[in-house]
Chains A and B, each alone.
Chain A
């Protein structure tokens, strides 16, 4: 769990027992025969885990509300001496269920959920990351495109977390990069040709990276509407995903499936 985000720690020992918030469902786990543990990214309280009683039952009052990637309005409360919050009720604000129609889009959306769940510390509010996730999911759903929304997501997740390296210089020796940079597994940025590890690295045109960086300064919708994606998108996406894995010090399971090109 990372703590570099400029966010505020949230104590949910509420004075009022019931609190209302907006949330994105990141994933769910079965709990016993009838309940679910729901991992949520909330707008006001950051990432939380809560129990939804009876959510596995066919006539559950939650219906399809707690399906992964649903954007919901949520009422939660906390019991003393319990780690997990309890969901009192939930209403669907926007569903991303239709994204299951395309397997690659499903993997991309779940990559976003997994990266956010691994990257964000629990109970630290960060509204900018919440808005980022929502914008990226909406863009994937609307455009059916994967590369640009994921690049935008990776870029801003790293930047908001304070982990975005300077793309203009070698991460090893600090020299200015030429036309080509090289990324080696586990590095915190690009290397120059002198510092690269030939067996483990892949090359990246610095001009592609600069073009992407410039595009990420505007809104994602404007970038997607700007026309055909520029060249080198796959390499840039792979590079940013690798940087996220380096910061997490673990592999993301959805990344292998994305690379698998299903």
Chain B
């Protein structure tokens, strides 16, 4: 029998539910788990804090999309605001607003997890999962002809310098290339979890409660007794006073990095390094001005990536991609204020934006970010920057400035508070001398990973190699928060892949119990 997706205003009063499995979160992790378990015949309830939106609700306005579809109404950041955190929050999670870039987990990353943390996943184990996912989500390579001018500057600049660069794969069917992936696909072309694995789960009987914020897990001894959710008003996102209590045989936390560790902390589950070793692929960007129009607000936002500098010996690796150039995000990111900001904004249609994503978590010296709790119970993220970050940020900015100048950009602006203006090779030295540190240069993250690390050693990890909590035996964490490191590629497909593998582990455990 088919289940349903129920927004908060369709919940009449307090509810108590007793399914086989309760899944907290409906992004790529939770949607995948719900789909696999429901299809295996288990009764599944999914609780999702975000709202349920279909394509008609996506109006392509940043002022609507960010408050509605992102964590903390688009305002999520580290506690000191030094890193802006773009993280989705909706039925379908980040897959509703991400830029569709799809990569399998690199083999060397999976091997690193095996060697360092005693991971149970081998590179080959994920292959059948990725094959199924790529088929279900329409993941295909972008044709060079479909690359917009913004991404094309990255492609051509790398080619001119002899650097590695290629088009990427995207999870779309019938893409209009309108450019609004980040605000929810207005034509339903993006194959988000809300259009794929969640409908699969619902068709197999799962029930999904939207606008339901899980406050805590009620734990007795080594068991989760119940997940306690508060129903939010879909319009105001404020609590209505109605509660949903889900007493399941097994509970799966799939809130994603930051939210999953925060839920464990709210529930008093402080075993292991919960909240620690959070990885962000910290992003620095440059904006390059061209004589011709680039119109980086239109076209597939990401279609090209360069991994030329992914394996560096002088510091952390980084990879380079493009970012869409919409007015609000640009206004937030661009350096300076007043006439400088206005001048740069006035030329927005002539700007290409390139980003360098630092591959964090692979050096013993790194501790990454730490999630603790804010006074309101939400995740408080701290992510200190050290010399390793600064070296990588500088190398990234210089590489991006070089490729943009090689491609004929009139000028490259950095996003330092005092924006540097690079017009020739000799200007690059400015990047080395300009101070870095919190709020001295704009830093972003669109990729949150870790915080509930998987591993064999309960002192070093939160869940075991099969994603079961080390001390609470009917609790699993299945999402990007279990990654022991970052990935060096955009994480969506890895989260689906590891979650598909994890769902199989969970299913096996439930069958044997």
- Indicate whether A and B interact: no
Tell me the B residues contacting A by CB distance below 8 Å.
none
